[in-house]
Amino acid sequence: MSRIPDTQMTPDGPAFEGRLLDRADEPVVDQGAPFDIRTLVSRRGILGLVALGAGAVTLAACTPVATGSTSASTATPTATPTASATPSASPTGAAVAVPAGEIPDETAGPYPGDGSNGPDILEQSGIVRSDLRTSLDGGATADGVPMTLNLAIFDAAGGDVPFVGAAVYVWHCDTQGRYSMYSSGVENETYLRGVQVVGADGVVSFTSIFPGCYDGRWPHIHFEVYPNMDAITDASQAIATSQVALPQGACDVVYADGRYPSSASNLARVSLESDNVFGDDGGALELATTAGDNTAGWTVALGVRVDTTTAPTAGAAPGGRG
């Protein structure tokens, strides 16, 4: 088994950092997403990152305005978030307040890449990552206004504590409204997709670019929440499938950038109220808070309350266009 780098032979077979390889005949780099996630979590434990409060992420705590017609004076975020703290089990005093209700189930759309309708990125090694801008195989890198996405995941069934151990898969379109793995010209790319595991602070954070606005949909980010790291390769195991709605004020500023050629005109033809996903309630529980600018980048934050006692009703049904 010397052809498997960085492994040790044990009575039960080849192992890496004390964990048996899922695929004994394959190199460490080709073990797949579940092995990647276990390695990530183990290293977090070694480094002490699971300690409560470690690596706290700054999150905005202002109340979202659920409307697609917010005036520029109130919708354009300031460069400095209004609050920062580590999310806690208490609905009061957290950086992101526990939402009033469970995150709504929404369609994963026609481009999930989770194996439910063809392409499956969740089986690929390297999908557990925080920087989503480059394709996994070193292909193209998506260009656009920088964005940091912070999702605070709360476990409603467990008393609204941080949902430690849950795995979150995020994906969204590029500046031209294209989805990697599906859209013409980027079918062979895998950028703007990735997985993170919820730590003790309750937050998963991704580095990406601000999504464009394509015709017929309000600007948004897709995500799926899985109960644990081993479930991530089976789309049917998702316990929540939803979307993040992006505030109009931030979109207006971003879409003035020349790298978003059609986004401003597409945004002018849709509103949160007319959108086929957020229109039922204006995205009341899905509208993110934002802070930043086009030079330094934007921070997008949302509190997500997941209730494992309710049956998921969403999935990869057709919806939206890219």
- Mean pLDDT by 10-residue block, N- to C-terminus, for the chain (322 residues)? 52 62 64 59 41 37 34 32 33 62 96 95 96 95 98 97 98 98 97 98 98 98 97 96 98 98 98 96 97 98 97 62 40
Alpha carbons 163 and 226: distance in angstroms, whole number? 10
Contacts 24+ apart (CB under 8 A), 173-176: 173/211, 173/212, 173/214, 173/322, 174/142, 174/144, 174/209, 174/211, 174/212, 175/142, 175/143, 175/144, 175/209, 175/211, 175/212, 175/259, 175/260, 175/261, 175/263, 176/212, 176/214, 176/261, 176/262
pLDDT of residue 305: 98
Is residue 198 within 8 Å of residue 163, measured between CB atoms? yes
pLDDT of residue 86: 34
pLDDT of residue 172: 98
pLDDT of residue 94: 37
* Domains of the chain, earliest start first: 58-306 (2.60.130.10)
- Alpha-carbon dihedral sign for residues 105, 111, 115, 120: negative
Q: Which residues pair with 293 in a beta bridge?
A: 297
At 177, list the tokens.
């409204």
Alpha carbons 230 and 227: distance in angstroms, whole number? 8
Alpha carbons 317 and 236: distance in angstroms, whole number? 13
Measured in degrees and rounded to the nearest 5, phi and psi for residue 38 equal -65, -40
pLDDT of residue 49: 34
